[in-house]
Amino acid sequence: MLRAAFVVLLSLVCATGLPQALNQASSNLPKSLHDDHLNITYFFPAHFEPVASPPKPAWVGGTLACVTSSLFANSALPAGPSSFVVSTMDNSCPESPREAAQLGPLTRAQILRQLKQYGEPTITREPTRYAIDGHPAAVTLASASTPGTANEAPRTVYAAKACALRSIAGKGRGKSELFAPDSRVLCFDFTTQNIDLFNLMLSFVIQFGDDPPEPIFLGRVYRGR
């Protein structure tokens, strides 16, 4: 029912023909950002404010030339800070997966690396494979805790990372789904410092071209965390 509600709501938003990020501080309607290069539209809750120049991801080893950030947004809800990052990895990245089965290990390795800045990371949900509008995807959940000090209270950061193939994979000679040589890997990172806000991950939606909008994160993974 949750997924169906989002599809109905986002269909109404799409019908307005607004391709760029919406600036509706007093509205509960989702904001949207259209990537003209990839022909992808991202939808996210209205209380997230996009940053004009998204920072480069810090989770890729070696050169960062193969990674671009198309959307970075922060939320300052009184319940606690949250953020959301959309990045694209091309096939020149040393970590770029060559088949769909590698998406899970990719999300796991990167979310652990990302959370080390907050403390010792712990996987709370091992990688789970699924599909977003037919595009192979995988998601991993994790958290990291920072011990308290004399000046700061202890805190825990909760994170979800999903990566999906930009183009739908084809079958090779084996059983694995192989990526096209010119494929891109889309990665979505959501973090929050309030476990009660972790269900916000279910509010992020993606639309490939003119296809129906689909949730980015897998709902059953969150509910089974």
What pLDDT is recorded for position 89?
87
Interval 108-125 mean pLDDT: 93
Q: Is pLDDT of 204 > 90?
A: yes
What pLDDT is recorded for position 217?
92
Among 116, 117, 112, smallest CA distance to 127 is for 112
Show the domains of the chain with their CATH numbers: 2-223 (3.40.1000.10)
Higher pLDDT, 147 or 211: 211
In angstroms, the CA 132 to CA 166 distance is 10
